[in-house]
Structure formats: structure tokens, C-alpha cells
Amino acid sequence: MRNIVYFLALVWISLISLEVFAQTGFGKITGTVVTEDNQPAEGVTIVIVGTDYATAANARGRFGFNKLNPGNYTLKVSLVGYNDVEKEAVVTEGATTSISIVLGVNARELSEVIVTGRKNGLHTQTASSSLRVQTPLLELPQNVQVITGRVLSEQQIISTSDGLLRNVSGLLRAEHWGDLYTNVNMRGSRVQAFRNGFNVVNSSWGPLTEDMSMVERVEFVKGPAGFMLGTGEPGGLYNVVTKKPTGENKGEVSFAVGSYDLYRGTIDLDRKLTADGKLLFRFNGAYQKKGSFRPFEHNDRISVAPVFSYAFSEKSKLTLEYTLQHAKMTDVGSYYVFSPNGFASLPRNFTLAQPGTEPSKINDHSIYLNYQQQLAQNWKLTIQGAYFYYDQTGGNSWPTAVGPGDYDLDYDGVIDGTLSPNQIIRGYGIWDARSNMKLGQAFVNGEVQTGAIRHRLLLGIDAGKKDYEADWSQSFPLDTPDKPFDVNNPDYGAPANGYPQFDRSLPLSQRAKAGGGTMGQEYVSGYAQDELGFFQNKLRVTLAGRFGYLKQYQWGGAPYQKAHFTPRAGISYSLPGNAYVYTLFDQAFTPQSGILRSGETAKPITGNNIELGIKKDWFGGKWNTTLAAYRILKKNELTADPSNAANENYSIVIGEKEAKGFEFDLRGEILPGFTAIANYAYTISEVTKVAEGVTTLKKGEYVPSFAKNTVNTWLTYTLQRGPLKGFGINGGFTYLAGRVGWGYSMDHPERNMGDYFKLDGGLFWSCKKVSVTANVFNILDKYLYSGSYYTQYWNYPDYNVAAYSWQVDPPRNFRVSVTYRF
């Protein structure tokens, strides 16, 4: 690593010296772009006519071109719904030319946009401010994909676990516990969940799936992202960006009905509270009742999200946001099916759930406070804090024993009975849980010029404290040895062993501590990033690093701590035709405890990502493509030393794991009225090295939860004129091949899942005030599932649960929604 650092430093110094030596006689253009109501035109593209130079306006509508030869230039700005603007600028040697551009509404074009009832574009040029970087996404040396609000509405996505992942290459859900949590895997590992720039993962269970009524967009950052986090799995992260006040007086209400007793209503109210527009307010709410294709199952939810913002001046703004999500749903274990006879060996509507057990009740609160201060023309300070409180009371159904074989119900070493292949002893356990997170961030974005080199700087600090406690210590078998549950002839009457009566007399904190159900972490980290622009910003070199300290504990164990530095280096280069090539090295780390026989303490698990890619905007930015290839190498992971004596507890490095592949994403308007989202990913995640004596893993064994090939499409066509103007049709499919389940399975190829193909489609119509959308999901009515194979997962010698386990997607179903805008 020291050699790499020396090499990068040498490259940095050499490039700076080369550019400074080469610079003479240049000028600059800076400016702002606003709409006619004086709102910054964030993300709009500004091009210099007759050249390859292009840039995007930042959150305050500002832009700049550096190192221009003296002369006359024409700048052009285009935005759907507004008149194209061309502005002349004269550049003189050693001087900065400042211009202002105001975009006026194009009444005809804006009318057409309103008639279709859909926001402009399926892709965006910029990341949200909560992703911290100011670099346009095309210039960023990393694969970042954004799912816009238009996509969420068009596909009738109602939560983050509801069809969202089809819109980005290489994503799939893993052991997702129904609609309670959204565990997303990407590039061979589970990705971190963020909301408004905060990491909201506090255990293996969470966060609660966000209701889409409050969501503006979802950003997927692939691979480690040192500008967002330094710890965790290296697959990447997704950032849910919630809706904020826009300064317009507008609103909409929507009502939806669907299969399996789905009834849903939402409201979005956006208002100025003062005439000068300094105090703004937005409220989003949702109410939902939802049944299931399985009996005894429901998921009812309420979401409330008020947001206030106040502008102290043109340079400072404070935003306060509160969110409450309430869920009342069947216990999450009801989504699982167990059988020794193979995946999909039971009817789609089969359930192991027992009617009459208590539902799970969840209240998920969050409070955000965000302050932004413009320090100078190109410098902005952001300070934000958040508090998350999650409270869950309920239970979880899970089998105590699955036939065939002997079983020991109370784990005392005495065989209680023998099950046939179709018999199960169902269990029901308590699952009360509470999560507290206190998080804070402060970061500065800025631009400076040193000679002919433009620097985009990011400096910041993160800190947080997370605590999770859960009571899993009380379990109860619903069935008895003389009356087990028969999957071929299920009896959902009163269970043979009666219903459980859990003891909640002690506070949850005491119950969780006694049962080892506590975990948490404290962390603080600082980071710095410099993106250097050379040769009129055609070449961009990113050099960054994050130093973090993390202290954490799991399962009631003693805390362990680790400090670690993670480097980041990237290069991006602009090609003719609005194309950009890039390469990236980035790293994430996961602390671990253990002592090696040499006496050394454990190093963190490191995930090193090397990535190459090319991005391109087509036809003036109407649609975009990204092609990326990557290799992620995980090192330093520990396991028990196989040579340990009876009284020894040493560890050894288990070997190495590698995830590699390539991804392709396309999104945007291909032809007038015809839009497309299409993606493909090839992924391989496997063990590449195994230490001598290790038997828990084998070289070539697949790492759980990925699909070798994933293909997704979503196509939409809207009639642009005539009596049926505003009417449209859409549809798409998801295809997963070479799926690997949630557990290691190379020794048992039959345990790998079969291919997955899901076809969806629908119709819609929109006018100025009203939109009607109808979609049918799983049109071909296929038996779709995901799962894994469990073998002796409790490790009791007389306990046989070798069985397939899977979760089933709904059969063919529909949704119809009506939206009224005002």
C-alpha cells in the first residue's frame, strides 16, 4: 500500500507540474442559470457551441469553464418546458467573464409535458446534494445510477422492496423478510442502505422499507464510495432521497386498488407559507391496507412526512424533516416456506403461519435537521444531524424441526420424535426490538483554481452512535410430537400445543441483554477528496482518503474497535461526442475481532474495488448509457484456526473472496414519446483462496446471493398528438439466470435456484389534472421464488432441519391508480 501511495503522489505532482508549465494566456467563463421565477436550474447542461465543452449547473445554478483560449464563444442551454437560450461570451487573456442566463417558459412545450403528466427524463445529470459530490454524474469516476420519481410513479412502485431493483443492473433481493426490510445485494455482497446521506443500517434487520409516497429519487452507488462511507461491504450503497419543498404551490392526491385487497391513498402537498417564499412546507402521507395471496397474511401501513424549510437569506437555508412510518403486519416468518423435497415443491399459496398469533407492530420515527450555508461563490457548508427511533413488538414463526429425521424439541439430547418427509414442528418466537441511532455530518464543497488546474474539493466529518436490542430468547413449539403439522394436509385450527404467552414483564433492554440480543457501534471518520481538472477539464484526476475509527459489539459480546485508512483514486477523461471514460480504485473495510497464533491482532476485512467504465449521453442528453467492469477482492477474513488445541481460541486468515463482472445500463427517451430502461449484468462471486486446513470453505465455492446473468427492461410509449394524446402503453421483464441462493452451495448444485422470468405491463392516460395508470404484474403467472438450502443451522446433533427454504412472489396481479393534481 505504501508503494501505491507514493506512486499516486508522484502522479499527482507530475500532472500538476505539467499543467502549470503548459498554462499561458487563458481565460474563464463563470455564470448562473435560473428559471424565470428565479429558481436555480440545477443539473441543466450548458454547452459551448462548436466544441466538446459541456458542464452542468450545480444546486445553486452555477457553472464554469476554465482554461479557454481568448475569443468569442456561444453558450447554449436547453431544458424541456423552456425556450432554448444562446448567450454570447467574450473571453480575454487572464480574465474571468461572468454571465447570467434566464430560462423562459415555452408555453407549447410545457403544455405537452403537463398533458403527459410525467416529469422530464428518466435520468439526471447530477447527484442529490445528500450524495455530497458536486461532479456531474457523467464526469464522476464511478458507476452511479439514479431511479427518478417518474419511474417510481410509472411502475406503481409503493415501497423500496416493490419492483424497484429492476431499474438498475445487477441488483437482487436476498433473504428479504417479506416487505419489512429491503436487503439488496449488488456486486457479490449486501449493500448499505442510506436515507438522505445517512447510513441507516443498524443490524442485519433493517431499515424498515420506505414508503414511496415520501421518496423523490433513489441513487445506487456501485462499489465502495469513500465520499460516503469507509466501512461495510464493498458492493456499494443505495441512497433514498426524500421529497423536499420546491417553492411552488401545488399538490396531488392519488388512490389505488389492486389484487389481494390492496387499498391505498396518498397525498403530496407543497406550499409557500410566506409571500416572500422564505418559509416553505411540504407534506406527504400514505394510508394502505394490503392482503396477500397467502391466507392469514396482511401488511397495513401509515406514513406521515412533514418537511419545513426556511431561507434566512439567499446564502443560508435550514430544513427540518420528520417521518413516521407505522406498520401492522403478519409476523415476518410467515413469508418463508420449508420443505425437504425441493424448491417450489408446495403450492404458491401454502403457508406455515398460524392464524391467531399476534401481529408485528412497528413504529419507525426519524428526524432530520439540515443547514446549508453558502460561504463564497463556489463554496458551500452543509451541517446535518438525524435521530432514528425504531420500535417493534411482535413475533416470528420459524420451524422447530423439519422432517424427515429425529428431532429434539428442548435440545436436552433426548430424542422427542421422528418426522416423515411431509411433517414439520412449527415454532413461534418472540421478536421485540428497538433501535436508536444518533448521526451527524458536516462537509464542505468548494472549487478553487491553481493556475490552469481546477480543484473540486470535498472535506468532511461523520460521527454516529447506533444501538440495537432485541428479544429472541422466548420460543414455543406450536405442534406436538404426536400431532405434527402435515404440509400435504395442513390444519390451521387451534395448534396442538396451544398459543404462546410471552413474558414481557421485564424491560426490553434487560431481556435483550440476557438473551445476547444486543449490538451497536460508535464511529467517527474524516475524509478529504480533490478532483483535479486538467487540459480545460478534459482530464480529471480524483485523489481522496478517509480515516475512520469504529467501535462495535454484536450478540451481546465484548466491543472491539479499529481505526483504518481507506484510499480512493480515480481518473475520468472526456472524449468527443459527450462520452467519458474512467477508472477507479476504492476500498471499504469491516472490522473484526480475533488473535492470530503469532500474537498479532486481527486486521480489518478489506474490500478493494478496481473499476473501468465508459459513459455517454446521446442526442443532447435525451438518453444515457453506462458500461462498467469491476473486480472486488475481499481479504483478511478470519476463521477458527484448525490446529487449535482444546483450550486455544486462535484465528487464521481464511483466504480470499472475489466478485467480478460487468454491467450495462441504458435509460432515457430514445424517440419522441418512446422511453426505455434496459440493463444487463454478469456477476461471479466466489472463493479464490483458502488457507491450509480450512474446511468451512472451498476454493471455487460460490459466495451466496447473486445471479450470474440479470436482464431487465421497461419500455414506455406515449401518443404525442391526436385525439388519444396522453394515452400510452408500457411493459418490461426481469430475467435472472444462474441464481445462487442465500447459503453456500457448491457442494450441492441441486440447491441452486432455477432461472427467474417475470413479465409486467400496463396502460396509462394523462391530461393536465388527471392521470390513470393500470399495471399487471407477473403476466405469465409463473411460480417465482428466491431462497436457499439450510443444513443443521442450529448445530444441534439430534436436530434435523436439512431443508429447502424459499419465499414466493405473488401470482398474476394488478394495480389501478388515479391521480389528481391541483
The 3-state secondary structure of 658-691, one letter per residue: EEEEEEEEEEEEEECCEEEEEEEEEEEEEEEEEC
Of the candidates 812, 813, 807, 818, the one whose C-alpha atom is nearest the C-alpha of residue 179 is: 807
Cβ-count burial of 376 within 10 angstroms (0-12 exposed, 13-18 middle, 19+ buried)?
A: exposed
Model confidence at 34: pLDDT above 90: no
Question: What H or E segment, with its residue span, contains residue 627?
Answer: strand 623-635
The answer to whether 447 and 459 have CB atoms below 8 angstroms apart is no
pLDDT of residue 411: 65
Domain boundaries 129-242, CATH class: mainly beta
Q: Is-cis flag, bond preceding 642, omega within 30?
A: no
Confidence of residue 801 (pLDDT cuts 50, 70, 90): low
Q: Which residues contact 435 (CB under 8 A, 6 or more apart)?
A: 202, 203, 206, 388, 389, 390, 466, 467, 468, 469
Model confidence at 795: pLDDT above 50: no
pLDDT of residue 76: 87
Of the candidates 100, 102, 94, 97, the one whose C-alpha atom is nearest the C-alpha of residue 29 is: 97
pLDDT of residue 649: 76
Percent of the chain whose pLDDT exceeds 70: 91
Predicted structure pTM score: 0.85
Model confidence at 750: pLDDT above 70: no
From CA 429, how far away is CA 647, in angstroms rounded?
34
Identify the residue with better confidence: 144 or 644.
144
- Measured CA to CA in angstroms, residue 549 lies from 265, 444, 565 at distances of 44, 21, 9
Cβ-count burial of 631 within 10 angstroms (0-12 exposed, 13-18 middle, 19+ buried)?
A: middle
The answer to whether 235 and 659 have CB atoms below 8 angstroms apart is yes
pLDDT of residue 28: 87
Note the pLDDT tens digit of each residue in 457-490: 999 999 999 999 999 999 899 999 889 999 999 9
Dihedral angle, C-alpha 475, 476, 482, 487, nearest 10 °: -80
Q: Which residues contact 673 (CB under 8 A, 6 or more apart)?
A: 717, 718, 719, 720, 728
Mean pLDDT to the nearest integer, 535-545: 94
Model confidence at 215: pLDDT above 70: yes
Dihedral angle, C-alpha 115, 121, 124, 129, nearest 10 °: 20
From CA 72, how far away is CA 475, in angstroms rounded?
78
CB atoms inside a 10 Å sphere around CB 807: 17
Mean pLDDT over each residue of the chain, to the nearest integer: 87
Confidence of residue 112 (pLDDT cuts 50, 70, 90): very low
From CA 422, how far away is CA 307, in angstroms rounded?
53
pLDDT of residue 630: 97
Q: Is 227 left (phi over 0), alpha (psi -120 to 50) or beta?
A: alpha
- In the chain, CATH 2.60.40.1120 covers 2-105
Here the contacts of 728-732 (C-beta below 8 Å, separation 24 or greater) are 728/116, 728/673, 728/763, 728/764, 728/765, 729/761, 729/762, 729/763, 729/764, 730/154, 730/761, 730/762, 730/763, 730/764, 730/775, 731/759, 731/760, 731/761, 731/762, 732/166, 732/677, 732/759, 732/760, 732/761
pLDDT of residue 457: 96
Confidence of residue 122 (pLDDT cuts 50, 70, 90): confident
From CA 123, how far away is CA 675, in angstroms rounded?
11
Note the pLDDT tens digit of each residue in 585-597: 999 988 877 778 8
φ and ψ at residue 119, rounded to 5 degrees: -70, 160
Note the pLDDT tens digit of each residue in 488-521: 999 999 999 999 999 999 999 999 999 889 999 9
| Sole residue written with cell 436436530 | 799
- In the chain, CATH 2.170.130.10 covers 129-242
Note the pLDDT tens digit of each residue in 360-418: 999 999 999 999 999 988 899 999 999 999 999 999 888 888 888 877 776 666 777 88
Mean pLDDT to the nearest integer, 740-769: 80
Q: Which three cell numbers stand for residue 652?
A: 487464521
Indicate the CATH number for domain 250-821.
Answer: 2.40.170.20
Mean pLDDT to the nearest integer, 306-330: 95
Q: Which fold has domain 2-105?
A: Immunoglobulin-like (2.60.40)
| Sole residue written with cell 391505498 | 264
